[in-house]
Chain A
């Protein structure tokens, strides 16, 4: 709907030196230790520097960014040296090793209680050698550090002085930033205007002076806005890909990239209606995942085999069991249940709503009445707090960098009610999670992740659906700065020659 208003009233004029991009929502949290949504991440990655960062393209590779050099000296030690001349906004001077120390150590500060503390789970401390150099010490080997910590959002460096002055954390107004872009203006719910940061003296300057992020949650509205020429880059719903490929808007390019994201139906084992494992097992047997893929996602993604996506260490090729309605009915009968009412919480995207309708129809076949509760993004992600163990079934999609440790951490017992909405509680799983992050041998680590996924499956609290590809449409006058999973790398966008 937003797009329609934009199209009608033409509030915004398109300039050649600026880039207008759709984001699924407004950002809500810019503190890297507290970020929650993809929209948060997009802005954080643009306004805060990192020692290393992922390269744009189709292969996962990282490159030096704020670091002049960085080296793993041994499994417990990483040495780094910062480039000189990277300046904070607001007169806070240069980015220093002290800022790096403060940024990383705050994750393990128990008083701060950062929800993303798992990003630095094995960190011991950061030793400041001089103004530009430091040493990162770990308590034990930390395998994910190069793939889901340093180049990811957990690697963002915040300004020590301004953050301390703000009481040790911030939400939407960081005291100082030093990334390739800085926030010029934020009109909540309408747009975020980023402008190139003069103090970004450590690498290639962004090609676009201004990037305007426009929150449009409805994918169809985003398509309309793109076709009306009001935005230059937009994410597209999977269900729209075939339609768009058949009728591509003029001067446009559509890219569909695989991601490590994962979509699943979670069943809360702590909820009285779902406490009986036979009920959960019946639900997992009754849901027709193939029909969901065909109906909601137009057969584009493959069926997921578990938490970990193809291409990542620990990916399991073992297919999930086929649908078994009779088996599901038998399990419910065994549990003494004739009929059951449950609620499925989902976001209001068309793809998810369609998936929800199929699940509703599937479970009706075994006598389970499903009420679909649709929510916008903000409301949906607060359900863990609001409903607690009253949550029953949820249809969710989580992001994942190219290391599985980042994903497995959300299902630890300590995450129950925070990100673990299944209240999945396995000591063995937790033990294996920590074993995996300190295991540097590839094969051994892969084996651990296989075991962890088996434990998850045995709980019957997870129905794995897909690893959703990300489809992005952009004008052909643009060279897109897309990471291999289709995420935006804002400073890498440039005009096509």
Chain B
């Protein structure tokens, strides 16, 4: 993972400046549009979904795309577009919640590791490395076997998979800041540790972690889709991109649009988030800027 020098990124201090930079390259611009669309669809899913995504209509099963059903229907006659839209909401919910929880845990533990004594630091580093060393798939299968397939199980899997990276990053950032002059000045002025952390350290370390976290969103979406495809994710009848793919896989010969309908947004969103994250990093890190 590249270390990002955010201290030198203050020249790009306005969101409008960042957005304008993003729109200056077609790849970044299109990625931003797709990501915004993903958020928009996810947030408004319940309002824009044309049909109830779990309503079964057997006589209409596996219908071709039409004006009534833009992406056709699945083997139970459910509207694929509606399922895709509500599936976006689930993917968004999972991405936001699991990454946010991991971020909070990572920031707290990272700051504790950096600001406490050597023994606690070593113990926490051992914890981070131990958790990171779990094979991802095995860990996911274990959690699902223990708690059953559900959104909560996936959240646990994702949080435990990604929080050590955030914690290590925060720890490194904090360690580089803790002896800096402005922190020393705060100490000399009698500021409490809590105040220093909250008002002076946190704002300086949050930026790089958030960028790294944004680049983990496609990972989260992929994990959720993968587990749901295997029947280990979101419980039916709730729609998920992975379960829609699984439904379509069975009928790919005669009704390939189900697989394409779920596969295309999955691919586009994954690429868009990754590409957007890289673009942001390039913009905010002057060392990488050409």
Contacts and interface: CB of A to CB of B under 8 A. Distances in A.
Interface of A: 220, 237, 239-240, 243-244, 246-247, 291, 294-295, 348, 350, 353-354, 356-358, 360-361, 371-374
Given A291-B58, A361-B56, A371 B254 contact: no
Contacts of A348: 231
Contacts of A247: 253-254
Contact of A295 (B56, B231, B253): B56
Contacts of B207: none
Interface string B47-64: 000000011101101000
A483 B55 CA distance: 41
Contacts of A237: 250
B58 A353 contact: no
A361 B56 CA distance: 7
Given A291-B56, A291-B58, A358-B56, A350 B250 contact: yes
Which 10 pairs of residues, A with B, have the shortest CB-CB distance? A295-B58, A361-B56, A350-B250, A243-B253, A291-B58, A294-B58, A247-B253, A243-B254, A295-B76, A374-B231
Contact of B254 (A246, A353, A360): A246
A243 B62 CA distance: 12
Interface string B216-252: 0000000000000001000111000000000001110
Name B's interface SS. loop
Interface residues of B, number: 19
A348 B232 CA distance: 11
A373 B77 CA distance: 22
Contacts of B58: 291, 294-295, 358
Contact of A243 (B55, B61, B251): B251
Given A247-B254, A354-B75, A361 B231 contact: no
A372 B235 contact: yes
Given A220-B249, A358-B58, A372-B235, 12 more contacts: A240-B250, A243-B254, A247-B253, A291-B56, A295-B77, A353-B236, A357-B237, A360-B236, A361-B55, A361-B56, A371-B235, A374-B231
22 contacts: A220-B250, A239-B75, A239-B250, A243-B251, A246-B253, A246-B254, A247-B253, A247-B254, A291-B56, A291-B58, A294-B61, A295-B56, A295-B58, A295-B61, A357-B76, A357-B236, A358-B56, A358-B76, A361-B54, A361-B55, A361-B237, A372-B236
A299 to B, nearest CB: 10
The residue among B58, B59, B61, B253 with the most chain A CB atoms within 10 A of its own CB is B58
B148 interface: yes
Contacts of B148: 373
A239 B252 CA distance: 12
Contacts of A353: 231, 236
A357 B231 CA distance: 13
A356 B148 CA distance: 17
Contacts of B76: 295, 354, 357-358
Contacts of B253: 243-244, 246-247
Contacts of A356: 236
Nearest to A290: B58
Given A295-B75, A353-B231, A374-B231, A360 B251 contact: no
B40 to A, nearest CB: 29
A374 B231 CA distance: 8
Contact of B237 (A294, A360, A373): A360
Nearest to A239: B250
A348 B148 CA distance: 14
A415 to B, nearest CB: 28
B54 to A, nearest CB: 7
A357 B253 CA distance: 23
A87 B151 CA distance: 58
A294 B254 CA distance: 17
Contacts of A295: 56, 58, 61, 75-77
A357 B55 CA distance: 10
Contacts of B54: 361
A354 B55 CA distance: 13
Contacts of B59: 294
Nearest to B251: A243
Nearest to B77: A295
Interface string B29-59: 0000000000000000000000000111011
A360 B78 CA distance: 14
A295 to B, nearest CB: 5
A353 B251 CA distance: 14
A358 B249 CA distance: 19
Nearest to A288: B58
Contacts of B56: 291, 295, 357-358, 361
A246 B253 CA distance: 9
A348 B61 CA distance: 21
Nearest to A291: B58
A295 B61 CA distance: 8
B192 to A, nearest CB: 49
Nearest to A360: B237
Contacts of B235: 371-372
Nearest to A372: B236
A403 B51 CA distance: 48
Nearest to A376: B231
B57 to A, nearest CB: 10
A246 B62 CA distance: 15
A243 B54 CA distance: 24
A131 B56 CA distance: 65
Contacts of A372: 235-236
B242 to A, nearest CB: 14
A286 to B, nearest CB: 14
Nearest to A299: B58
B97 to A, nearest CB: 22
